[in-house]
Amino acid sequence: VVIGAEIEKIGAKAFYNCPNLKFVTIKSTGLTAKSVGAKAFAKIHKKAVVEVPKAKKTAYKKWLKKRGIGGKQKIMGK
């Protein structure tokens, strides 16, 4: 899944329970903890990789974990 640069909001449970979702690319730099809904990325593939803008990696990593990314899943800056 590629989340475009113009996206400002991701709803609650947007990708919830998508066990085949292995790779997510977030191109948007405008997302915040408040603009991404609860459990938006919960229960995706156990070894999923999430690519985020390099400049926002620290901030995104902090709140993506609260939105369901964790365990063996990786958050990478690109």
pLDDT digits (tens, 9 = 90+) for 8-43: 999 999 999 999 999 999 999 999 999 999 999 999
pLDDT bucket at 65, cuts 50 / 70 / 90: very high
Q: How many helices (H) and strands (E) does the chain have?
A: 1, 4
> pLDDT averaged over the chain?
96
Residue 71 has a CB neighbour count (10 Å cut-off) of 9
> How confident is residue 78, by pLDDT bands cut at 50, 70 and 90?
confident
| Nearest-angstrom CA–CA distance, 54 and 51 | 9
DSSP state of 2: E
DSSP 7: -
